[in-house]
Amino acid sequence: MAPSGPGGVRRRCRRVLYWIPVVFISLLLGWSYYAYAIQLCVVSLEGFGEVVCLIAYHLLFAMFVWSYWKTIFTLPMNPSKEFHLSYAEKELLEREPRGEAHQEVLRRAAKDLPIYTRTMSGAIRYCDRCQLIKPDRCHHCSVCDKCILKMDHHCPWVNNCVGFSNYKFFLLFLAYSLLYCLFIAATDLQYFIKFWTNGLPDTQAKFHIMFLFFAAAMFSVSLSSLFGYHCWLVSKNKSTLEAFRSPVFRHGTDKNGFSLGFSKNMRQVFGDEKKYWLLPIFSSLGDGCSFPTCLVNQDPEQASTPAGLNSTSKNSENHQFPAKPLRESQSHLLTDSQSWTESSTNPGKGKAARFFSKHSTIAIFVDRIL
């Protein structure tokens, strides 16, 4: 068997090093179980309080471990084959120099794809390393060395990319780990106070109780800020990358281009069935390659729709999720907003058209606020 060379050895060493944060969290979790369940509940607590604490603790512990496991071992989703260039298109790109000719090849390849975002310069988003046209909200991860659908960030604590396939699991991991730490800190507080007032017997358990409270309180502070930040991202339907750099659409930058209102933003991540919201079971809406948008500016590349009665019939469907992936059922707002613009700028439509245009614009403005 041929040697893999120094490059292969370095890659294997990096893969091993990437697991160190996960091993650290796992060891810390194992110690916390021993310190709380054995040393605190079994040794220190007495009576009915011990049973209640143990039941609540094991419930939080199980949900914490389950969501953490799913976040780590759920593979990130990559763009489907339709976003990869054909062999002929790759040859054309290699022959064409960087510039307008290069972009023309990409525009022809992307004309039937559900893509609305662009680069800062207005070009088609293309990954040279993966040789594919990037779907909306897709980014290339330098650690995983692949394009990840709706990439949020690469998290070293789970040794995985957080994206479309496991973002819900990541949120539940943050939520249950925060509840786990808060529960331990709250139930351990009275014994922590007794430790400093010499109210505990001088046994091995007293040191576990002291360090357990310190660890739980410290992680509670850091987890609460991180969880609160991601709750804000979900409410705005943004990823961490989009919060730092707003997505660019054909009409320009729009930081709220994917926001559909609080309720629909929540359902994008957690799904329509509320019974699955608190369980680390995949229930997010969509396919990760296309997303409904809430664009209120006119898109010059979108085909115009007739004004008048056709736009009124679509107005009731403006904020509904597509029944099928967006590639088959395009965002209603992309066409309706243009219809309103045409209605308001065409003097031949009369007062009725201008009245409809005015109230439709107010309606979408109110919906975006809500």
**DSSP assignment of 169-201:** HHHHHHHHHHHHHHHHHHHHHHHHHHHHTT-S-
Neighbours of 299 (CB within 10 A): 17
Rounded CA separation 26/38 (Å): 18
- Counting Cα atoms < 13 Å in the Cβ hemisphere of 16 gives 6
Q: Which residues contact 143 (CB under 8 A, 6 or more apart)?
A: 18, 154, 161
- Counting Cα atoms < 13 Å in the Cβ hemisphere of 87 gives 0
- Reported as type and span, the H/E element at residue 117 is strand 117-118
289 catalytic, yes or no?
no
- Pull the structure tokens for residue 140: 């290339």
Q: Which of 155, 161, 181, 294 is catalytic?
A: 155
- Alpha helices, H only, 197-331: 204-236, 240-244, 262-270, 309-315
- Pull the structure tokens for residue 149: 């659908």
- Pull the structure tokens for residue 52: 């209640």
The partner residues of 249 in beta bridges, in order of sequence, read 117, 252
Rounded CA separation 22/369 (Å): 40
Angle at 242 between CA 238 and CA 243, to 5 degrees: 80
Residues that are catalytic: 155
